[in-house]
Amino acid sequence: MTTATMGIQNAFDVEARRRDFPILATKVAGRPLVYLDNAASSQKPNQVLDAITSYYREKHSNVHRGVHYLAQQATEAYEAARDTVAAHLGARDRHEVVFVRGTTEAINLVAQSYARPQLQSGDEILITQLEHHSNIVPWQMVCEQTGAKLVVAPLDEDGQLRLDAFAECLGARTRIVSLAHVSNALGTILPVAEVVRLAHAQGAVVMVDGAQAAPHMQLDVAALDCDFYAVSAHKAYGPTGIGALWGRRELLDAMPPYQGGGEMIRRVTFAATEFAEAPARFEAGTPNIAGAVGMAAAFDYLNAVGLEAIRQHEAELLAYATERIAQVPGIIPIGTAPDKASVVSFLVEGIHAHDVGTILDGQGVAVRVGHHCAQPLMDSLGIAATARASLGLYNTRQEIDALVEGLDRVRELFA
Ligand code: C6P
């Protein structure tokens, strides 16, 4: 899809972009919705909604199975979506893109199909202190299964991953390094390319959890030189229930599938099964075809709006939000790394984060409160929960002002 067909101009116009998202017209408690929970899941533009509806109205059948017209239309739409996702991730080869349910499933796939068959007792998997549960639990499970050990690289006081501290955790037994590109709880952008260089020098492969990077920056697996990269569409203006695992072809082709079923085979007898090549061998059963179409439409949308324009808009808004929120008396910022993307996490002194979230909701302001599925990070910070405002391309300064007014109201109520 071109910029012209999507009706998007080159200059970033936030009001025009807001009109792409029908849900933003919602009123909550009689006030305009201020949606600042984009890291949990972002809203969907008409371009994505229309792509999904058109697919179901005009093209739907099952994929890779039929000779009839609609089966071919559906297969073409699904495989065209793979091309779009591959190009968006910077993959050299479309066979390197496996459609999965999301980042969580992508990491589980790598843990079970790549790590489990080759880890030996005493091998190490290195993660960082800020990981989401999705990038902790699958590795704990595979450690349990193989006798491997989970090692955790620490953060500094600003919530940054320092390369010297990371390098100290990297050893001769490190087989896999798995880290977030962007932290969901702190917003920190991690130095992935440098981590990859250090890890590769030790012979370890690197898996990157790109769940929070995809909505905010140009992705490029070739430039990062990582080995696996995971994304969820729903955080990047696409539908829920779909995401992608990118993996180096030679690694994917050598990995046994961890789920069996239809469409992932070359030949089945009752005695044995020969698996198809990647990516089909990892896509057992009828896939989320409409989801893949919607995911591709979301990436088309991001490109049409312009990822650099989005990055600039969000960086300005993040600086504004960080400054305004810090001026509210009693605010304690959590996560102060200089290199951050679109997340402001904070405590309000003496007031539980859940109360903060509930009072803000009463004013139409949606933020997430809690441990953000990063309980070990919260434990290491000595806190149970934060309030988190997470920004998307459609957020405005006025919405940050509404959040700050909401926080003033929180303080009044608890004074
Ligand atoms: N974080 C948040 O509010 P799924 O659920 O598979 O699409 O994504 C999981 C996931 C993995 N890694 C990171 C860094 C994430 O932020 C998330 C999802 C949401 O922060 C929901 S818990």
Residue nearest to ligand 1 atom 19, measured at CA: 40
Q: What is the pLDDT of residues 234-281, one digit of tens each?
A: 999 999 999 999 999 999 999 999 999 998 999 999 999 999 999 999
Confidence band of 66 (pLDDT split at 50, 70, 90): confident
Per-residue pLDDT tens digits for 169-212: 999 999 999 999 999 999 999 999 999 999 999 999 999 999 99
Determine the residue of 100, 127, 134, 183 to mutate for testing ligand 1's pocket, defined as the one with the most ligand atoms within 8 A of the Cβ atom: 134
Question: For the chain, which domains are there?
Answer: 51-303 (3.40.640.10), 306-413 (3.90.1150.10)
pLDDT at 2: 46
pLDDT band at residue 3 using 50, 70 and 90 as cut-offs: very low
For residue 37, the ligand 1 atom closest to its alpha carbon is 3
pLDDT score at 65? 85
Is the pLDDT at 11 greater than 90, yes or no? no
Q: What is the residue-averaged pLDDT of the chain?
A: 96
Confidence of residue 7 (pLDDT cuts 50, 70, 90): low
pTM of structure: 0.97
Checking if the pLDDT of 4 tops 60, the result is no
Nearest-CA neighbor of 240 among 280, 295, 281? 295
Q: Classify residue 243 as exposed, middle or buried by CB count within 10 Å of its CB (0-12, 13-18, 19+).
A: buried
Model confidence pLDDT, tens digit, residues 305-338: 999 999 999 999 999 999 999 999 999 999 999 9
User: How far, in Å, from the CA of 210 to the mean position of ligand 1?
Assistant: 9
